[in-house]
């Protein structure tokens, strides 16, 4: 995927998040925002999947542990949805780890429990 496409999708993800937040407001469960964001992205013509399983590989061997990505956009961009009072270092470490484990280049950590969702919108890059 080229940089322009990442940027185009990033804008759609941001505007979709704003739309979900405007419609639903803060204070709901993460699962509510996740399913609403998936629906908003689909309405905008974006291919996405919820709760995508990523296997854990250690030194080339797949182990009996899986991780779940909240939303995978166009099989390239990871979205981790939160509805917390504060984004903590552990939340940031989670999205960074998911990017590394899945070998994806771009991820977003979105906290819907903000007065303005833009303040809870964080972009993470893995190697580009």
Structure tokens at 4: 């322009």
Residues 94-113 have pLDDT tens digits of 999 999 999 999 999 999 99
23-46 pLDDT per residue, tens? 999 999 999 999 999 999 999 999
Q: What percent of the chain has pLDDT over 90?
A: 87
Q: ∠ at Cα 46 (41, 49), nearest 5°?
A: 75
The pTM assigned to this predicted structure is: 0.93
Residue range 43-63, pLDDT digits in tens = 999 999 999 999 988 898 988
DSSP states along 101-121: HHT-SEEEEEE-SSSSGGGGE
Number of other CB atoms surrounding residue 117 within 10 Å:
22
What domains, with CATH codes, occur in the chain?
3-125 (3.40.1350)
Dist CA 78 CA 114 (whole Å): 20
The predicted structure's pLDDT at residue 1: 78
Q: Could you give the 3-state DSSP secondary structure of residue 88? A: coil
User: Phi-psi category of 44—alpha, beta or left, where left has phi over 0 and alpha has psi -120 to 50?
Assistant: alpha
Strand 61-73 and strand 48-58: the pairing is antiparallel
């Amino acid at each position: 995927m080229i940089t322009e496409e990442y940027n185009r999708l990033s804008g759609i993800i941001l505007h979709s998040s704003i739309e979900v937040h405007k419609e639903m407001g803060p204070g709901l469960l993460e699962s509510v925002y996740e399913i609403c964001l998936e629906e908003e992205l689909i309405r905008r013509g974006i291919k996405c999947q919820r709760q995508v399983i990523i296997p854990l590989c250690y030194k080339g061997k797949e182990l009996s542990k899986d991780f779940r990505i909240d939303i995978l956009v166009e099989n390239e961009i990871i979205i981790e949805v939160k509805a917390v009072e504060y984004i903590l270092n552990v939340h940031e470490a989670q999205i960074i780890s998911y990017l590394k484990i899945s070998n994806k280049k771009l991820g977003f950590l979105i906290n819907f429990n903000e007065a303005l969702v833009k303040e809870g919108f964080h972009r993470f890059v893995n190697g580009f």
